[in-house]
Amino acid sequence: MNPHGVRTTREGAELQVLLSRPDRLNALRTADLIDLTEAVEAAADDDGVRVVLLAGEGRAFCSGADLASVVDASTVDAANRAILALRRIGKPVIAAVGGAAAGVGCSLALACDLVIAKRSAYFLLAFADVGLMPDGGATALVPAAVGRARAMRMAMLAERIPAQTATEWGLISQVVDDDVFDTEVASVTTRLAAGPPLAYARIKRAVDEAAMPALARALEIERTGQAELLRSRDYAEGVAAFKDRRKPKFTGT
């Protein structure tokens, strides 16, 4: 087992941030989210970094928060900080989604500027399955991309959205066949690394102001709501059912 949930590698102007717990489908602990944030914030201050690539090791991008660890309000705070770091860095950030992007893993992918996914990948807001609400800015990121109706369906029914469908909806930017995924990710990363950094920074800021002016407020509302839900019996039942691989029995308490 790899105790380090996040690893970074640097090649020239390209920084890769790798979610590295493949045995847990890259499920994130609070410490992993902090490490991710610190890597992105450091890249923001490094003039030598021109593009950031966020990827997952193994067969998943990220399966969400690790329910085997302590998940509490500090986890939500760490996720919020990670989302803001991804949006505030004035450099292009690519999410290379080679498998499941679920829960906060889905939020992290959608917080990136470009999302390139394998055709076999899928996106899932799995929060309701354990009695929680979407966090990591998903309540702003998803409707900004696909509209209220589809966002509500994703949030309430926790359905898997195949990468092809996600592209057609406008949730992600690109889907490619599995056998050319690595080549396409490398090509786009190299192109962005050679692009105009000042223009990219202005593009990010302008698009975010137009498309997601309420992101910061959404993070606050999610934090308040999630803190309450994490103390509920429904959440305890949801986690127990998840671990027992059974359907939860929610009571609204």
pTM for this model (two decimals): 0.95
Residues 20/7, Cβ–Cβ less than 8 Å = yes
Concatenate the DSSP letters of all residues of 174-230 into one string. Answer: EEE-GGGHHHHHHHHHHHHHTS-HHHHHHHHHHHHHHH-TTHHHHHHHHHHHHHHHT
Amino acid occupying residue 142: V
Residues 115/169, Cβ–Cβ less than 8 Å = no
Is residue 2 scored above 80 in pLDDT? no
Give the domains, in start order, of the chain with CATH numbers. 6-178+206-243 (3.90.226.10)
Please give the structure tokens belonging to residue 4.
């380090």
Tell me what the mean pLDDT of segment 183-201 comes to: 98
Is residue 1 scored above 70 in pLDDT? no
pLDDT digits (tens, 9 = 90+) for 134-148: 999 999 999 999 999
Determine what percent of the chain falls in helix, strand and coil, rounding each to the nearest 5.
50, 15, 30
If pLDDT is split at 50, 70 and 90, which confidence band does 4 have? Answer: confident
pLDDT digits (tens, 9 = 90+) for 56-77: 999 999 999 999 898 999 999 9
Q: Which residue has the tokens 């490619």?
A: 176
Contacts of 104 by beta carbon, 8 Å cutoff, 6+ apart: 28, 33, 62, 64, 65, 79, 135, 136
CB atoms within 10 A of CB 2: 11
pLDDT of residue 250: 97
Q: Which residue, among 66, 50, 55, has the nearest Cα to 19 in the 3D structure?
A: 55
Look over the chain and give the mean of its residue pLDDT values, rounded to a whole number: 96
What per-residue string of b and e applies to 72-102 under the rule 16 or more CB within 10 Å gives b?
A: eeebbbbbbbbbbbbbebebbbbbbbbbbbb
Tell me what the mean pLDDT of segment 199-220 comes to: 96
Tell me what the mean pLDDT of segment 17-26 comes to: 97
Share of the chain above pLDDT 90, in %: 97
